[in-house]
Every structure is written in structure tokens, then in C-alpha cells.
Structure 1
Amino acid sequence: MTLTYTQVWVLILGCAALTALIKAFGPVLLGGRELPTWFTRVIVLMAPTLLCALVVTSVLASGRSWSVGAHTVGVAVAGVMLWRRWPLVLCVVVAVVVTAGLRAI
């Protein structure tokens, strides 16, 4: 299915309007009341979960299929280094070098 230029912009504007509407519901419905503690614990965990899903999809997806390649190994190396509390810049540099090295082979 191919969308026209106008359809793409209508879709973008519709998504932006829907996002603004969804974000407005929180303050309107709560009206300054405190959230229950169980709800706050769930909300706090949503951002890391969504970030993890984005990383996994970006690393493992190749078109419409799943694949493991040099980029996957590079991200895994950076993830382990970050887990071991290495500096972020060093992790990125090592991941780039590992990925480039594996692609060169």
C-alpha cells in the first residue's frame, strides 16, 4: 500500500492531535489528585520497558524478518560494558569498532 503525499501529512497531523488529546486526559481526569502508589510504580517502569522494546526491535529487525548480525554483537558488547559501568563514550567507541571489525571480515 502506497500513501500519497497528502495522506502522509494527514496521518502525521492526526497522530499529533491524538497524542495531544491523550496527554490532556491525565490532568483533566486527575484534577490535581495524587495517584495510588501501585499505579505510580507501574508508570515508572513503562519508560525503561518501552526503551528496551525499541532497542530490541532496532537491533534484531531487518525489514520484515529477524536477524542477528554484526550490529547485534556491537550493541551486545556495549550493553555488557554499560552494565559493568564503563564510560558511555568508551562503550559507543568499542561497539563501533567491534561492529566495523565484524563487517570487515
Structure 2
Amino acid sequence: MTLWLWVLAASAAVYATKLVGHLVPGAWLRHPLVGRISGLMTVALLAALVTMNTVDGDDGLAFDARLGALAAAAVALLLRAPFIVVVLVGAAAAAGLRLLGLS
């Protein structure tokens, strides 16, 4: 299969999934359990993406400056720092660790 056929197949699958989502009865979506599960799944998906982007390397797991930056940003979040401060703390920690040779 060529690349364009894969792109078209993926587009059709996404469109079909969206179409099926519109066919779900509204009463199912208003159930409190659905709201709790969807909220938890969003947080879990974001945590998984952050973890994979932090420790993913070419040959497996990579423990480098990204992990230290994530830890520094987590500490800033625990101290209830504003979002821009959290980003700057993470960036500064990554730059500092890379300067120390932990890239």
C-alpha cells in the first residue's frame, strides 16, 4: 500500500469513529460514571504521553536531562507556581543538567 492509501484509510477510520460518536444516546453521556471515567482517562493519557516523551530513547529507556527537568517542573507544580514559572523551571533545569553533561 502506498502512503496516500494509508492516509486515506486512516482518515476514513477517524471519520467513522467520529460519526459513531454522534450516534451514542445522550442519556449514556450524561451518566455520572461516564463523566468520571472520561476525566480520569484524559489525565492518564496525558501522564502516559509525558512519561513516554521523557524517558523514550533510541535504544530503549533514556535517563537524561529530560527526567531532571520533569522532576523540577513537578516540584514547581507542587509548590503551586504559575504555569509559566513551571515551564521556565523545567527549561532551566534541563539546560543546567545538559550543561553538566547529562544529555
* 1:45 matched residue in structure 2: 40
1:12 counterpart residue number:
7
Q: How far is 1:34 from its partner?
A: 4.0
**In 1, distance between residues paired with 2:6 and 2:44?**
26
2:20 is the alignment partner of 1:25? yes
Aligned length: 99
Amino acid at match of 1:45: L
Judged with a 3 Å threshold, the aligned counterparts in structure 2 of structure 1 residues 11 and 80 are, in CA distance, closer, same or farther, namely farther
Do the aligned residues in 1 keep the contact of 2:56 with 2:62 (CA within 8 Å)?
A: yes
- Unpaired runs of 5+ residues, structure 2, are none
Match of 2:96 among 91, 98, 101: 101
Q: TM-score normalized by structure 1?
A: 0.80
Mapped partners of 1:10, 1:85: distance in 2: 48
2:48 and 2:13 mapped to 1: Cα distance? Answer: 22
Matched with 1:70 is 65
* Contact in 1 for aligned 2:76/2:86 (Cα 8 Å): yes
Question: 2:85 aligns to what?
Answer: 90
Structure 2 SS opposite 1:33: helix
- For 1:54, the equivalent position in structure 2 comes to 49
Using structure 2 for the length normalisation, give the TM-score: 0.81
Taking only the aligned residue pairs, the percentage that are identical comes to 28
Query: SS of the counterpart of 1:101?
Result: helix
RMSD: 1.8
